[in-house]
Amino acid sequence: MTSVDNETLAREQADSALSESISQEVTNRTNAVNAEQLARSNADTALATMVQTERTDRLAEVAVERGRLDAMLAGTDVDLNQLQELITAYQTSDASLLARIGTVSTNISNIQTALTTRTDRVDTLVNDSE
């Protein structure tokens, strides 16, 4: 066997090892991205559940307070201006809370869209490298 044959064989073995290493790295990166996507998706679901629970709890709390105020206003001769101001403050807080919940929901949707876009990009990169 000549030195050219030896060098050719050595280069072929090195190329084969490099190809295996690249394939393993692509597999590792794909698995890492998939795991991160799953973790983010699970976290988004948990966050959405917590937001919905918080919204439900706050709406129930507001309903209780509205009921109390309605009971106080029913058939009373008390100066209604001050109680009306209290009711207005509760209604304003309720609207503010609902607006914040809407913002959180929009942010969750944006995060899910961004994750989907990143996953598509990674899939494209992985497919291009194969």
Q: pLDDT tens across 61-105, in order?
A: 999 988 887 777 676 555 555 666 667 767 777 788 888 888 998
- In terms of phi and psi (left: phi > 0; alpha: psi -120 to 50; beta: otherwise), the region of 34 is alpha
What is the pLDDT at residue 118? 83
pLDDT digits (tens, 9 = 90+) for 35-70: 999 999 999 999 999 999 999 999 999 999 888 877
The tokens of 93 are what? 């807080």
Phi-psi region of 15 (alpha: psi -120 to 50; beta: other; left: phi over 0): alpha
Q: Tell me the two tokens of residue 46.
A: 């948990």
48, 108 Cβ separation under 8 angstroms = yes
What pLDDT band is residue 31 in, cutting at 50, 70 and 90? very high
Alpha-carbon separation of residue 52 from 57, 100, 101, 105, 127 (angstroms): 9, 12, 8, 9, 38
Question: So what's the pLDDT on residue 94?
Answer: 78
What pLDDT score does 27 carry? 94
